[in-house]
Structure 1
Amino acid sequence: MSITIMDKNKKIIFFITKSNWGGAQKYVFDLATNIAKENYEVMVILGGNGPLKQKLDASGIQTISLGTLGRDVSVINDFKSLIETYKILKKEKPDVIHLNSSKAAMISVIGRLAGIKKIIFTAHGWAFNENRSFLSKTLIKIIYFVTILCSHSVIGVSKKIIDQV
């Protein structure tokens, strides 16, 4: 008698801070909906309840909206988001997390602590290119450096983004 054991579907969690509709959100939507067709279990963690969440929900993609998650820095809300994300990662045990966020450094470290096997970071732009003080730009570069170190793969959406790594 022969017994066939099917591999469990791979689970991937995408992470993006804003649920408005823009380039990064379309990127996450396209990846999530197409990967789901390949029998991957897909979830998207995002901030807010905007058009991205609505489109994902309508497409049957599981979403978790963190009310404390946003693009702007807020020590209290960022800490709460980290704790919530860590709990989700420990509960869901994804094979892959795919980060699409300026706050990816925090999540990449949390992913490592949660034992995630594969962390992918997609750089859609660099916040250090924005009009900021020297100190802010330096801190942002350090944060991106940590993100890249903690990620297994880094994707740049353009040659310019890649060249600036």
Structure 2
Amino acid sequence: MKILYVITSLTQGGAQRVVCDLADAMFEKGHEVKIAYLTGEVITQPANEIELLSIGLTDAVTLPKAYFTLSKIIKGFKPDIIHAHMVHANILTRLVRLITPMSKLICTAHNSNEGGAVRMLSYRVTDRLANLTTNVSNTAVAAFEAVHAVPKNSMLTVYNGVDFTNFTYNSEAKKTIVKELSLSIDTKIILAVGRLNIQKNYFNLLNAINFIKKQSSTPFVLLIAGEGELQSEIEQLIKTLNISDNVILLGRRNDVPTLMSACDVFVLSSDYEGLPTVLIEALACQAQVVSTDVSGVHEILGAYGKIVPTKDPVALADAIKDSFQDNDKSVLTQKYVKSKFDLNFISDKWLKIYNEV
């Protein structure tokens, strides 16, 4: 089978990692796979030698050229399946179908909120151009249906598949991170991973850290791994709250599994998500997890972890403090997420969909 994945970008992000891992899985199952990306530099990429095709979209001026570039790629490759991911790639690929023959087109949204009324309207008016539209959690599907972005009962939930090869508990990880950052071995490590953008609401988390600092005598540090457009604002809030001694911005990291194994508490402070894969990965590394109540979280955590309301730093602080007491690493969390989100299982599910749609 010839499969073309089309994605908005291959920069750093959960959706990008999910698509590259899925492409790897299909490649390893013997299929011919290519990935076309609309914009940006390549940061996240597949492990195998899968061809990456730049569509060259940079702004509105380059949109017509990008449109015909994608059309040319499809005509040249003649894929059996085109599987688009994220809003811009989904809408553009649907519109390209107006002039370009496509055997099958599947579009996958990766969030409960893909950008407001105009984008949801774009989904609605182009819905007929896709053979199938999916999302990554039941709550994200419900959110799309609620704003009429898709017809009722037409959107399918398919969970993100995770390659757990590297995401496993490492008993030496905390020693490694403590040594690197010159921390005391008794310091509780709180970890957050994700882009420094509005969706992740690190301001909520930093305010929670301020409450913990005032209320707890336990030594702790928050590590934030990621880059993004709000870095200067985040740095300013850290100074304003006088929590510089308790927060370390790590920037982009290539050792996230080590960080997850090392942390005492993994925290997601987002205002909205689709299916936050970082929570799956953290559970695989046997971390204690605290998350805001966003799309997909209940479907991931089950009986594992603590869930608090969004935009409530006091509740977030209390849950983190409570998690300081739960130091035991449990292999049950790893077994649980593998049984539900393992890439081999999910890729087989996608193959069945590709054949049946």
What's the TM-score bracket when you normalise by the shorter of the two chains? Answer: 0.7 to 0.9
In the TM superposition, 1:58-137 aligns within 5 A as: 58-69=47-58, 74-103=59-88, 104-125=90-111, 126-129=113-116, 137=117
Shift of 1:23: 1.1
Q: Which residue in 1 is equivalent to 2:16?
A: 25
List 4+ stretches of structure 1 deviating above 3 A. none
Q: Secondary structure of the equivalent of 1:124?
A: coil
Contact 1:122 1:154 in 2 (8 A): yes
Flag the 1:147–1:32 CA change in 2: closer, same or farther, 3 A.
Answer: farther
Instruction: For residues 107-158 of structure 1, give each alpha carbon's deviation from its aligned partner in whole angstroms, at most 9, with x where no partner exists.
Output: 11213531111101111123245xxxxxxx2x22221113432111111111
Contact 1:121 1:148 in 2 (8 A): no
| 1-structure distance, mates of 2:21, 2:98 | 26
- Greater RCO (Cα-Cα under 8 Å, separation 6 or more): 1
Shift of 1:13: 0.6
Flag the 1:34–1:147 CA change in 2: closer, same or farther, 3 A.
Answer: farther
Q: Secondary structure of the equivalent of 1:43?
A: strand
| 2-structure distance, mates of 1:25, 1:79 | 24
Contact 2:95 2:129 in 1 (8 A): yes
Contact 2:5 2:84 in 1 (8 A): yes
| 2-structure distance, mates of 1:82, 1:158 | 30
Unaligned runs of 5+ in 2: 145-357
Letter in 1 for 2:102: I
| 2-structure distance, mates of 1:85, 1:27 | 21
Of residues 30, 37, 41, the one that matches 1:39 is 30
Q: Which residue in 2 is equivalent to 1:16?
A: 7
Contact 2:87 2:119 in 1 (8 A): no
**TM-score, L = length of structure 1:** 0.77
Shift of 1:90: 1.0
Instruction: For residues 68-93 of structure 1, give each alpha carbon's deviation from its aligned partner in whole angstroms, at most 9, with x where no partner exists.
Output: 25xxxx32222221110011111111
Of residues 47, 50, 74, the one that matches 2:42 is 50
Flag the 1:146–1:37 CA change in 2: closer, same or farther, 3 A.
Answer: farther
Flag the 1:44–1:94 CA change in 2: closer, same or farther, 3 A.
Answer: same
| RMSD after superposition | 1.7
| 1-structure distance, mates of 2:64, 2:55 | 12
Q: Secondary structure of the equivalent of 1:76?
A: helix
Number of residue-to-residue matches in the alignment? 141
Identity %: 27
| 1-structure distance, mates of 2:126, 2:18 | 19
Q: Secondary structure of the equivalent of 1:24?
A: helix
Bigger radius of gyration, 1 or 2? 2
Q: Which residue in 2 is equivalent to 1:4?
A: none
| 2-structure distance, mates of 1:98, 1:147 | 15
| 2-structure distance, mates of 1:151, 1:163 | 19
